[in-house]
Amino acid sequence: PPILLWFRRDLRLTDHIALDRAVQTGRPIIPVFIHDEVVETYRAAPTWRLGLGVQHFAQRLASLGSRLILRRGTARLVLEQLVEETGADTVWWTRAYDPPSIERDEAVKSALTGQGLTAGSHPGHVLFEPWSVETKTGGYYKVYTPFWRAVKDRQVPEPLTAPSELRTPDEWPDSDDISAWGMGDAMDRGADVVRPYLTLGEEAAQARMSTFVRDRIDAYDDRRDFPGVDGTSGLSENLTYGEISVRSCWHAGLRAQADGKAGALDWLKELVWRDFAYHLVYHTPHLMTDNWRREWDAFPWNEDEELPEVKAWKQGRTGIRFVDAAMRELYVTGRMHNRSRMVVANYLTKNLMSHWKIGCAWFEDTLVDWDPASNSLGWQWASGAGPDAAPYFRIFNPVTQLEKFDKDRSYATRFLAELSDDPPDTALAFYEAIPKSWPMAPDDNYPEQPIVGPKEGRERALKAYNERDF
Ligand code: FAD
């Protein structure tokens, strides 16, 4: 009987453990993608990007003479139906660690195994299983550096190669047409503007990694903090949809390190931040929904998304150049540099005292590299409410941050049309990318003064912190 291979955020053929095991059985394989209850919860940009990734992956399977069967509905019901239609007795997938996916997968597993089928998950989404990294007392890690120390010397198996062929079933089950799913429908901003910035699919991801390791990893430690410089790998988009395996990245980093590339160690450390995010979301699922440190429940956050200053933050009109350039980068490219993510998150949650959940949800709407664990950790961390956060009273000054990390203003001018009489296309593209419901134009008056200045925001936040006696 055939094996149903259920693909989710693992849209690749290279270094795919479940696929490799399925190929080794010598049995026919039916690859499946389901627009299921978890996918239903994804917001605009991630749904759009996932749809493009699925389409691309379907073509990749087709190039091997295989197919990707597309179905929509509750995962358990769809898989039961497919088992019945195809006579499959085995369903395999790559393990996920975020709470909504775990809930879905447990329901699938117990229903299918209850019917006498083989159903289960294989590793592959992270380097180290979250339960395999334990403190001396058998607990989980709440701080990154000891987590890093615990894993850095572990042996990670070499990545697997892609299969050269997949055995096909005698008969294929029916497949939906992905265009009928409307995965781009909620993307009410200029998808055409964002599209050229995507790195879509496994082949492009691998090419991106090779160029990064060849040309940029050496100076990664010096250049990674400057948003105007192309100093990082840009692989988050591919890692989040599994178009490249983190294990392939890890080994590429190790090889670069062995070749004496100075920046490789720092890059390996960043890959472990991703694992740390999954470690935390697995052990403390409320990382995705509530203040990780419960004492922050008492903080007087603004929770009103409609507040003019929150709108100004989303639209890149706070009058703080670093923040505004970054928010526009997000709109134009679907991504944002890590330094900028820290700056805009700090400004929203500290200077504007708005709840991190507002920013977290906005990123979830707009990022093409949205990742359930890394985004939640990033926001909680930046706001002070999360694990291993900077002390709550550390409030970035976005003006001095710009001076330090974008001295020549190459980043600010690239995305902020108002800073120049002759703005580059990248800056003007923001106005093509915004939804129609935002009546904005490049010649509108850009605030001359920040809506909340760094000093004012800092004092207000510190006062609130002191009153609460955190
Ligand atoms: P590189 O610098 O080349 O790093 C390599 C890889 O390591 C990245 O692709 C990513 O997978 C991982 N990584 C790097 N930094 C981090 C980090 N701080 N936390 C977890 N993993 C990391 N990352 C996402 O992938 N998706 C998100 O939704 C996301 N939201 C964030 C929100 C906030 C508020 C903050 C502060 C950070 C967020 N990050 C998120 C982490 C980080 O900003 C991005 O991973 C990084 O900018 C991606 O660029 P890159 O691929 O060039 O990374």
Q: Say how far apart CA 125 and CA 250 lie, in whole Å.
A: 12
Q: How many helices (H) and strands (E) does the chain have?
A: 21, 5
User: How many angstroms separate the alpha carbon of residue 349 from the centre of ligand 1?
Assistant: 19
> Is 252:238 a contact under the CB 8 Å cutoff?
no
pLDDT tens, residue order, the chain (470 aa): 999 999 999 999 999 999 999 999 999 999 999 999 999 999 999 999 999 999 999 999 999 999 999 999 999 999 999 999 999 999 999 999 999 999 999 999 999 999 999 999 999 999 999 999 999 999 999 999 999 999 999 999 999 999 999 999 999 999 999 999 999 999 988 899 999 999 999 999 999 999 999 999 999 999 999 999 999 999 999 999 999 999 999 999 999 999 999 999 999 999 999 999 999 999 999 999 999 999 899 899 999 999 999 999 999 999 999 999 999 999 999 999 999 999 999 999 999 999 999 999 999 999 999 999 999 999 999 999 999 877 777 899 999 999 999 999 999 999 999 988 999 999 999 999 999 889 898 888 899 999 999 999 999 999 988 887 66
Which atom of ligand 1 is found nearest the CA of 276? Answer: 20
Scanning 132-200, the segments in alpha helix (DSSP H) are 144-151, 191-194
Nearest CA to ligand 1 atom 22: 274
Q: Say how far apart CA 247 and CA 126 lie, in whole Å.
A: 8
User: How many angstroms separate the alpha carbon of residue 399 from the centre of ligand 1?
Assistant: 23
Nearest CA to ligand 1 atom 3: 233
The CB of 68 under 6 Å from ligand 1? The reply is no
30 φ, ψ to 5°? -115, 100
191 φ, ψ to 5°? -60, -30
Strand partners, 120: 92
Domains of the chain: 1-123 (3.40.50.620), 182-284 (1.25.40.80), 294-468 (1.10.579.10)
CA distances in angstroms from 170 to 1, 28, 29, 416, listed in the order given? 10, 8, 10, 57
pLDDT tens column, 170-191 = 999 999 999 999 999 999 888 9
Q: Binding residue per annotation — 231?
A: no
Whether the ipTM is more than 0.85: the answer is yes
pLDDT tens column, 34-74 = 999 999 999 999 999 999 999 999 999 999 999 999 999 99
| Beta strand segments in 69-145, E | 69-72, 90-94, 118-122
pTM score, two decimals?
A: 0.98
CA distances in angstroms from 83 to 28, 332, 403, listed in the order given? 13, 43, 60
Q: Say how far apart CA 279 and CA 400 lie, in whole Å.
A: 34
